[in-house]
Structure 1
Amino acid sequence: MPVHRSGTARRGPIAAAGILLSSLALVLGSTGTSGAADTPARGSATMGMGVAKHDGVGPLPGDTRDVQAVQTEGVDTSSHNGNVAWPTLWTSGVKWAYVKATEGTYYTNPYFAQQYNGSYNVGMIRGSYHFATPDTTGGAAQADYFVDHGGGWSRDGRTLPGALDIEWNPYGDACYGKSEAGMVSWIHDFVNRYKARTGRDAVIYTAASWWSECTGNSAAFGSTNPLWIARYNTEPGTLPAGWDYYTMWQYTSSGPTVGDHSKFNGAYDRLQALANG
């Protein structure tokens, strides 16, 4: 067999193929054919990204407690939407918006200024939301990060209280590795610090099935925090414990221009009242 100048034997085609397969196995072993390879990048989570996956779309058993006859259309946006065509949305009848500001204590939306200010400039009432990651830092720390990076509130009649997006973990365990009691405690820490910083009770965005699984269907927040319920259907369905009515309902992720559309449970003047506190 010929020998290279380095003294190593030349590899034939069969040996080369074996090395290639071994290398491929190492790559697959490091990323996996699923699991880690399918996990989105930190910071990329969006409001409702787990709703269709976990709850599906279509009829589910449920009630329609206190659904107002007149509702007001809204949207939520994140970096996935890029620069949003706010005049188009306004013309279509959208009157309010929530914009993702932060996630954990490690991410801010690079499109936040265009989305937050742009919605305001066309006449919308707007607010910001925080995607919670209870497995990375405490609730109070994340509330501080949110307020310091776009999640504040002012009594200008056009700014909604900040929203806590608490739902399925896109990066791992659905309940972020927390017990039901631990999750309730984390949420308490967040909303208490948010109120201490802004004077407002944060809106809680969630889905009934996640709330039941991860908080034990806690009724601890119904008397203080407005509910933004996520359910992609023709009705909001059964609400989490403690809430007799919803304030907002995200009913689809496939709307025109911006996918996530919601209804405020009341007329425009009631939306203004929520902004004014």
Structure 2
Amino acid sequence: MEAVRSSIVLSRGRSRLTVTGVLTGLLLTLSVPAAVPESGAVTPERGSAYMGMGVLAHDGIARGATADSLPDSRTGQTEGVDVSSYQRDVAWSTLYGSGVRWAYTKATEGTYYTNPSFTQQYNGSYNVGMIRGSYHFATPDTTSGATQASYFVAHGGGWSKDGKTLPGVLDIEWNPYGADCYGKTASQMVSWIADFLNTYKSRTGRDAVIYTATNWWTKCTGNYSGFSATNPLWIARYASTAGTLPAGWAYYTMWQYTSTGKTVGDHDRFNGSTTQLKTFASG
């Protein structure tokens, strides 16, 4: 009997796995990469991570909390969004018309990835009148904090005192590719983060914002409080309140409150007015 070659594509989220086999008679041989765990889950490809990916997977959405059920009051706060290559070309005019006034775009990940949609997203938000910035998805298990900070600055993570550019963000959260804490002890993780933050400050003159979730921060840094005096906090929690903050921070500067918003899923709030947002951008 003639052999028949078949190819099966399995998809989960943004990950694609191709399984190729040869069928001869009744024999089918499948070759499956080692990246697929026994549970059947497919490990995402490097570069596919985005802000909140790990938070949604590990912390989930608080019971009953959806974009429609969250408080509508924006008194004293300013609406924003965060985007990555997953959104591709973003409808910025639509977002601006709905009240969104600031945006963050993923620029880099590790030292191996740059967002192919960065230009449209970063410049597009600016062109409709938003204040914008960029973020780096950290992978502490690949290269040093200093190396990743330099890579970030060189590929869209810079800052200028023009009142329209927000400081860069270190997105440090649950690892979508492996061990939750990237194989580091709490003290090693704190050292890695400090290495990134110090390098970013020396390269740009601004203190980077730290994006994280309280559960991850507690587990992977030992709830370290030493960055709270210099680095603004962007807390991730999909609920009606921001909840308990990591140690040291008395308040959040930004809050990612949903992953199911309109036009763009990830919506955020700056803890201040539009005027205060401009002041924050200016440093």
Report the TM-score, using the length of structure 1 for normalisation. Answer: 0.87
More strand by share: 2
Give the aligned partner of residue 127 of structure 1.
133
Residue number in structure 2 paired with 1:49: 53
RCO higher in structure (CA 8 A, sep ≥6): 1
Query: Which residue of 2 is the match for residue 184 of structure 1?
Result: 190
Q: How many residue pairs end up in the alignment?
A: 252
Letter in 2 for 1:78: S
Corresponding residue to 2:169 among 153, 163, 167: 163
Work out the CA distance in 2 between the residues paired with 1:160 and 1:106: 24
Secondary structure of 1:130's match?
strand
Q: How far does the alpha carbon of each residue in 1:235-254 deviate from its partner, in whole angstroms, 9 at most, with x for none?
A: 00000001010000000000
Q: Which amino acid aligns with 2:151?
A: Y
Maintained 8 Å contact 1:76/1:98 = yes
Aligned position for 2:145:
139
What TM-score, normalized by structure 2, do the two folds share? 0.85
| Equivalent position to 2:62, from 31, 54, 58 | 58
SS state at 1:193 partner: helix
Report how far residue 35 of structure 1 moved.
5.9
Match of 1:195 in 2: 201
Instruction: Rate the CA distance shift 1:202–1:31 in 2: closer, same or farther, 3 A.
Output: closer
- Using the TM superposition, give the Cα deviation of residue 53 of structure 1 relative to its aligned residue in structure 2, in angstroms: 1.9
1:253 pairs, out of 259, 268, 274, with 259
Instruction: For 1:141 and 1:242, locate their aligned partners in 2 and report how far apart those are by CA, in whole Å.
Output: 27
- Tell me, which stretches of 5 or more residues in structure 2 are unaligned? 1-23, 65-73
Q: Distance in 2 between matches of 1:204 and 1:239?
A: 12
Could you give the per-residue CA deviations for residues 120-157 of structure 1, whole angstroms, max 9, x where no partner exists? 00000000000000000000000000000000000111
Q: 1:38 to 1:268 in 2, by over 3 A?
A: same
Q: Quote how far apart the aligned CAs of 1:45 are.
A: 0.1
Cα 1:116–1:36 change in 2 (3 A) is: farther
In structure 2, which of residues 251, 256, 277 is the aligned counterpart of residue 271 of structure 1?
Answer: 277
Is 2:205 the partner of 1:214?
no
The Cα of 1:77 is off from its aligned counterpart by 0.4
Rounded Cα–Cα distance in structure 2 between residues aligned with 1:56 and 1:31: 24
CA distance change for structure 1 residues 96 and 219 in 2, over 3 Å: closer, same or farther?
same
| RMSD of aligned alpha carbons | 1.9
Give how far 1:70 is off.
1.1
- The Cα shift of 1:69 comes to 4.3
User: Does 2:85 correspond to 1:85?
Assistant: no
**What SS class does the counterpart of residue 262 from structure 1 fall into?**
strand
Cα distance in 2 for partners of 1:247, 1:59 equals 24
Larger fraction in helix: 1
What is the alpha-carbon distance in structure 1 between the residues aligned to residue 195 and residue 180 of structure 2?
20
Using the TM superposition, give the Cα deviation of residue 56 of structure 1 relative to its aligned residue in structure 2, in angstroms. 1.9
Q: How big is each residue's C-alpha offset from its partner over 1:18-71, in whole Å with a ceiling of 9 and x where there is no partner?
A: x42xx23xx2474546568611111000000122221121159xxxxxxx9410
Mapped to 2, the partners of 1:169 and 1:178 lie a distance apart of 11
Aligned 8 A contact 1:31 1:37 in 2: no
> Tell me, which stretches of 5 or more residues in structure 1 are unaligned?
1-14, 61-67
2:209, 2:163 → 1: CA distance? 17
SS at match of 2:53: coil
Larger radius of gyration: 1
